[in-house]
């Protein structure tokens, strides 16, 4: 009979193989690759879970999914750097943008640090169920 301890490496390897997404979070993205991934996220009707889209200009780009109250109708997806808006955002050449995001039964403007290429193309926010 095989011991459980002997099977642990096999189980771990199987889990690790299924847990890694097709677009690994540590992928380094050029401007063109970031635009492609953003377009792919927004082309999908179904709302993805929060995740790291990749690394752009040395910083993580997050897919932030917000929904409250009337989900999924009020869902908003926001692509932004992991760092917040402010001087650090400006120094790295990114743009601060205010996005109306659901909070409880209402919405409020929240500021995010947006990669400049996404800001220029207005490809940083999407409401998938309001199309």
pLDDT at 74 over 60: yes
- Residue 97 lies inside a defined structural domain of this protein: yes
- Residue 117 lies inside a defined structural domain of this protein: yes
Q: Which residue has the tokens 């050029």?
A: 30
Report how many domains make up the chain: 1
Q: Regarding predicted confidence, which is higher, 104 or 24?
A: 104
Instruction: List, for residues 2-52, the tens digit of each pLDDT value.
Output: 443 443 333 333 333 333 344 557 889 999 999 999 998 888 877 667 789
Q: Are 128 and 75 in contact (CB under 8 A)?
A: yes
Domain that holds residue 40: 24-126
Q: What is the pTM of this model?
A: 0.76
Burial category of 23 from C-beta neighbours within 10 Å (exposed 0-12, middle 13-18, buried 19 and up): middle
Q: Is it true that the peptide bond before 72 is cis, omega within 30 degrees of 0?
A: yes
By percentage, how much of the chain surpasses pLDDT 70? 79
By three-state DSSP, how is residue 18 classified?
Answer: helix
- Element housing 5 (H / E): helix 4-19
What integer pLDDT is reported at residue 48 of this predicted model?
A: 64
- Residue 120 lies inside a defined structural domain of this protein: yes
Average pLDDT of the residues in 93-118? 92
């Amino acid at each position: 009979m095989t011991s459980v301890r002997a099977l642990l490496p096999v189980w771990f390897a199987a889990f690790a193989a299924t847990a890694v997404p097709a677009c690994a979070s540590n992928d380094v993205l050029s401007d063109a690759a970031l635009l492609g991934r953003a377009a792919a996220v927004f082309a999908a009707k179904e709302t993805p879970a929060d995740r790291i889209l990749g690394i752009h200009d040395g910083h993580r780009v997050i897919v932030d999914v917000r929904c409250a109250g009337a989900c999924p109708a009020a869902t908003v997806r926001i692509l932004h750097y992991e760092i917040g808006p402010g001087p650090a955002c400006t120094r790295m050449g990114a743009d601060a943008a205010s996005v109306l995001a659901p909070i409880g039964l209402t919405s409020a403007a929240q500021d995010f640090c947006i990669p400049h290429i996404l800001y220029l193309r207005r490809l940083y926010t999407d409401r998938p169920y309001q199309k």
